Amino acid sequence: MHFAFVCLPATGHVNPTLPVVAELVRRGHRVTYATSAKYAAAVESAGAIFFENGEDLSAQFPRFGNAPGSPAQDDAGRSPRAGMLAGLGSGMMSGLLERLLERAREEFPALLARLAADQPDAVCYDAMTLAGKMAAMKLDLPDIALLPTYATNEHFSMRELMPSRAPAEMLAAWKQARQLIEDFAREQGLAGFNFMEGPPASLNICFIPREFQPAGDTFDDRFRFVGPSLGRRGSEKEWQPRVKDAPLLFISLGTTPLNDRPDFFRMCLQAFAHTEWQVAMAVGDRLDVAELGEVPQNVEVRPFFPQLDVLPHADVFLSHTGMNSTMEALYLGVPLVAFPLQPEQEANARRVEDLGLGRRLPADGLTSKLIHDVVTEVSQDQQIRRNIAAMSPRVRNSGGATAAADAMEEYLGGLA
């Protein structure tokens, strides 16, 4: 069979799909994969035929980092995270959505032509990818949604995990963007198109375990909770801790430009300098390490670490709680301290706390001492350890790429 994958060009969306692609190819199927050029090598390494569609989303974000020596709070008295979440309100979010729509107008015809000329047996589209869902509808092809985060049905919506009082300007920006998307869909002859809402796809591959999904027992067979599928990522070099017998703290705020937080990273250096902790701290590729000042001997700083090599050694993961990172931590049995940078991550952090799998740092009043104390408390909390020990096998045993490929074959087989 021939599967077409259409994926949002962002690491947290591409990475979960690549092991599924590799498994489909291993079974003798053909995969065409449409995303931005940034991921071409990874896509081809998984065995798919790469088709460029979309652009690197990181180019759409301004730099958020503070200048060296700037205060940990803004003029309104907000902490780095509170300011970041506020910054995601109106202008940036609406601008990003408008840019995605602009690119869709430019690139959708080429994607449609490619899929029409080499018609797949199914379109597998990231749930946040406008072009994928539209292509499946326009070509009347079997639709498979790829969900890197929570699923939605009549019993649960992602809105339930979001802050209860969204800023008015954010709501207005979303309303405007939705209207523009609906107008574009109508131009394509797709009346009643609902982006990220409306009825679910015929098959929905969810890259989390059912136990992590709120109201998980209310989702029917259209939803397959396969959990994460871990695998090597391109040319990453293996990593080993410098000191074998010291407790290890891994700090990473993900791979998007939102991780550009020198103020937060300086607090982490102050929190753990010359302590018993060994620290591996990923600061992203938009921050000059010189901005952080002197780096203590017990801290290793890099733009990025090979996360799947570091986590097996980690005692605690101080994370933005992106869903990929959250799942990888739970898969490998590592407690979490959450420092979310956007609403979806805030929802994940709340879920982690609700399930007793870690703790969330406060948005306000954050200090180096508080960071140190929360990390230490989480590392010593035996109930969190027990909860992690119970959740980890559920994450591991959800089926991963094998279960996803089984579900896809079963769905298409039922249509024959």
Q: What is the pLDDT of residues 240-276, one digit of tens each?
A: 888 888 999 999 998 776 667 889 999 999 999 999 9
Contact 282, 302 (CB under 8 A): yes
Supply φ then ψ for residue 66, to 5 degrees: -85, 155
- 48 plus 186 within the same structural domain: yes
pLDDT tens digits, one per residue of 273-292: 999 999 999 998 878 888 88
Q: Which of 154, 237, 236 is nearest to 197 (CA)?
A: 154
State which of 2-16, 81-95, 233-247, 381-395 shows the largest mean pLDDT: 381-395
Going by C-beta distance under 8 Å and a sequence separation of 6 or more, which residues neighbour residue 379? 247, 315, 316, 335
User: What's the distance, CA 194 to chain centroid?
Assistant: 22
Quick one: CA torsion of 143, 327, 39, 252, rounded to 10 degrees? 150
* Per-residue pLDDT at 355: 97
- 191 plus 285 within the same structural domain: no
Q: Domain span at residue 11?
A: 2-229+399-415
97 or 75, higher pLDDT: 97
CA 397 – CA 406 distance, rounded (Å): 15
Q: Is 363 a domain residue? A: yes
Q: How far is CA 182 from CA 57, 80, 134, 221, 247, in A?
A: 22, 35, 11, 29, 52
CA 414 – CA 303 distance, rounded (Å): 46
Q: Is 90 a domain residue? A: yes
257 or 348, higher pLDDT: 348
What is the average pLDDT score of the chain?
A: 85
- 150 plus 212 within the same structural domain: yes
Q: Is 234 a domain residue? A: no
- 178 plus 292 within the same structural domain: no
Report the predicted TM-score, pTM, of the whole model to 2 decimal places: 0.86
Residue 65 banded pLDDT, cuts 50, 70, 90: very low
User: How many structural domains are present in the chain?
Assistant: 2
Q: Which of 20, 38, 21, 173 is nearest to 96 (CA)?
A: 173
CA 352 – CA 161 distance, rounded (Å): 12
Q: Which two tokens stand for residue 379?
A: 């590392």
Q: Is 240 a domain residue? A: no
Q: Is 238 a domain residue? A: no
Mean pLDDT, rounded, for 50-72: 58
Q: How far is CA 280 from CA 26, 277, 356, in A?
A: 35, 10, 24
- 11 plus 71 within the same structural domain: yes
Q: Which of 149, 164, 157 is nearest to 198 (CA)?
A: 157
Q: Which two tokens stand for residue 282?
A: 């990923």
Render the burial of 169-195: b for 16+ CB within 10 Å, e for the rest.
ebeebeeebeebbbebbeebeeeebeb
Q: Which of 392, 390, 243 is nearest to 326 (CA)?
A: 392
CA atoms within 13 A on the CB side of 340: 25
Contact 17, 327 (CB under 8 A): no
- 59 plus 187 within the same structural domain: yes
CA 287 – CA 117 distance, rounded (Å): 44
Contact 213, 225 (CB under 8 A): yes
- 391 plus 403 within the same structural domain: no
Least confident piece of the model among 56-70, 75-89, 342-356: 75-89
Q: Is 78 a domain residue? A: yes
Q: Which two tokens stand for residue 318?
A: 């101080």
Residue 66 banded pLDDT, cuts 50, 70, 90: very low
Q: Is 185 a domain residue? A: yes
Residue 164 banded pLDDT, cuts 50, 70, 90: low
> DSSP assignment of 253-283, as one string?
--SSGGG--HHHHHHHHHHHTTSS-EEEEE-
Q: Which of 306, 309, 308, 252 is nearest to 279 (CA)?
A: 252
Q: Which of 15, 25, 10 is nearest to 408 (CA)?
A: 25
* Per-residue pLDDT at 251: 97
- 180 plus 256 within the same structural domain: no
Contact 184, 101 (CB under 8 A): yes
* Per-residue pLDDT at 382: 97
* Per-residue pLDDT at 87: 44
* Per-residue pLDDT at 272: 96
Residue 89 banded pLDDT, cuts 50, 70, 90: very low
Contact 193, 182 (CB under 8 A): yes
- 74 plus 198 within the same structural domain: yes
Which amino acid belongs to residue 348?
Answer: N
- 379 plus 411 within the same structural domain: no
- 254 plus 202 within the same structural domain: no
Q: Which of 311, 310, 320, 318 is nearest to 255 (CA)?
A: 320
104 or 217, higher pLDDT: 217
Q: Which two tokens stand for residue 82?
A: 């509170």
Helix 323-331 with 382-396: angle, nearest 10 deg = 100
pLDDT at 107 over 60: yes
- Share above pLDDT 90 across residues of the chain, in percent, rounded to a whole number: 59
- 140 plus 167 within the same structural domain: yes
Residue 96 banded pLDDT, cuts 50, 70, 90: low
346 or 250, higher pLDDT: 250
Per the listing, tokens 């679910």 go with: 200
Q: What CATH number does residue 327 fall under? A: 3.40.50.2000
CA 145 – CA 163 distance, rounded (Å): 26
Q: Is 327 a domain residue? A: yes
